[in-house]
Every structure is written in C-alpha cells, then in structure tokens.
Amino acid sequence: MLRLVAVRLSAMLLVMLGACTLVFLLIHLVPGDPVDAMLGETARAADRAALRAAMGLDAPLWQQYLDYLGGLTQLDLGDSLREQRPVASILAERLPPTLLLAAASLMLALTIAIPLGVLAARHQHRLLDRLAMGFSLLGVAVPNFWLGPLLILVFSLWLGWTPVSGMQQPTSLILPAITLGTSLAAVLARMVRNSVLEVLGDDYIRTARAKGLSEGAVVRRHALRNAWLPVLTLVGLQLGALLSGAVITETVFAWPGVGSLMVEAIQARDFPVVQGTVLLIAALYVLVNTATDLAYAAIDPRVSLR
C-alpha cells in the first residue's frame, strides 16, 4: 500500500508539472498584455516599461518559467499582478465557497440518483424506468448556462424566494447547488441503474431470493453494495470536476469560488493567479482520483491495486 501511495504521489507531481508548464506557455500566447490591462492602452511607454520591469515581465520567457518553478519548490505561488498580494491567500479565500458548493451539489445528486437508479432497475422497461431515464436524458441535455438563468428567473425574480447571486445569505446556495446537482444526478442515476441491472442476474442474487429475502432486501443488502464500484468511479471523476470549480455555474451566480476566480484572472491577464488556479485544479483532480483508487479495495477486496 505504501508503494502504491508513493507511485500515485509521483504521478501527481508529474501531472501538476505538466499542467503548470502547459498553462504557462499557453497563457503567454493569448493576445493581451497585463500591463495594458492595469494601466490602460493610453499609458506612457516609460510607465509601461517600469511596471513591466517591476513585475518581472521584461525577463525572457524561459527565465520567467524557471523563476516560477523555483517559487513552487518553496511553496510560493507568487503575487497577483492585479491585487498585489500572494496568490496562495487569494486561493485560500476562494476555495471554501467551492468546497461548500461541491459538497451540497454532490449530496443533492446522490440523494436523487441512488433511489431513482434503483427504482428504475427494479422496474426495468416499465413506466417508472422510462420516467427515470427521461429525467436522466433531460438532465444531461440541459446545459448549466441555460438552467442557471432559468432558475434565477423563476425562483429569484418571479417568486422572490432566493437571492439572485452572490453568497450573502444561506439561501444563496440553493440555486447553484440545484444547477450542478441536477445534471450530476442525471448521469449518476443512469450509472446506478445499469450497475444494479448487471448484478441482479448474478448467482448470489438468485440465491438470496431463494432464501426468501424480500426484493427490497436483496437490492439493498446485495445488489447495491456490489454495484458501487463503477458508480464510485463516476462519483470520483465528477467530484474532481466540482472541486475544481464549476466555471459556468459560479460565473452565472457570481459565486466567489475557484471557477469564477479563474475567469476573472484570465480576463485581467493575471498570470500568477491563472497558474495558481490551474495548479490547484490539477492537485484536486489527482487527489480525488487517487482516493477513488484506494477506496476500491475497501469496497471490493478482489480489486488489485498493484
């Protein structure tokens, strides 16, 4: 197990190094200059040159890259060009709202998907199954950038039940969580249904039924427990996406999370913040996927982690 953890950590470092290198190169190819964004295009050439030298942007690209990697070895993500304060402190402020939104969305998705997927599997090819799969198809087909404004229009503007945007009130979490959780629940419900259907035909399920167990007990104690492995894989992948910041949803609802921070930093050409955000996203993805791999053994001892 220790060897597996060491291998996973080494792979995580390589992934983050690749992500940092790629985003560093790409962001310097994007049209636009952070100095012009800060001073305006009408600023004097001498002022632009002085600011560029103060921020270290006058150095060659390879030198900037080496300086950035040197800072990472000391856990220094640099300072924001726009706010003139450490990137780490900005990420520390923006990460808790993203964690809160991700947790609420995942709980909502699991609450909807597990019962819906099990009911669809137990009533295969019946009306309930068709309704559940219709919901799944609708949830996947409706994009968040359309569902979010629709929920704002109905529940915030027409009914006045929730705030339009921001994070000032506890009820501000409801609409963003529904927007993310609904689409995730649609995908998970289909996966739960397919996984339960696969195990319902196995021999141990027939044995459990032959012992006189009710259908509900068979599904709950035997089928659902053994159907968790593919569902866990999907949950791990989706959780990584949620923790990395749902960019569209956070932007629509002005949610002060990592996703909206990345959009703001790209628009302002704030290179250190963009690089720090991508590094955080890569780390969260790899950590969640590694935790998912390790959880396989707890759910199914037959899975080899070598």
DSSP state of 168: S
β-sheet bridge partners, residue 40: none
For range 54-78, the mean pLDDT = 79
For 87-299, CATH gives: 1.10.3720.10
Q: Which residue has the tokens 């707890």?
A: 298
What's the pLDDT at 92?
92
In 3D space, the residue among 8, 22, 11 whose CA is nearest the CA of residue 278 turns out to be: 22
What's the angle, vertex CA 9, arms to CA 8 and CA 15, rounded to 5?
90
Beta pairing partners, 86:
79
| pLDDT confidence bin for 193, thresholds 50/70/90 | confident
DSSP H helices in 55-173: 61-73, 87-122, 127-141, 144-151
Q: Summarize pLDDT for 166-190 with one digit per residue, the tens.
A: 888 888 899 999 998 888 888 888 8
The mean per-residue pLDDT over the stretch 242-265 comes to: 84
Parse the chain into domains and list their residue ranges.
87-299
Within a 10 A sphere around the Cβ of 276, how many other Cβ atoms?
26
For residue range 222-246, list pLDDT tens digits in order: 677 777 777 777 787 777 777 765 7
pLDDT tier for residue 298 given thresholds of 50, 70 and 90: low
pLDDT single digits (tens) 6-56: 777 777 778 878 888 888 888 777 776 677 666 666 677 777 777 777 777
Radius of gyration of the chain (CA): 24
Residue spans of alpha helices (H) in 142-222: 144-151, 174-200, 203-210, 215-217
Query: Does residue 279 carry a pLDDT above 60?
Result: yes
Distance CA 118, CA 267 (A): 45
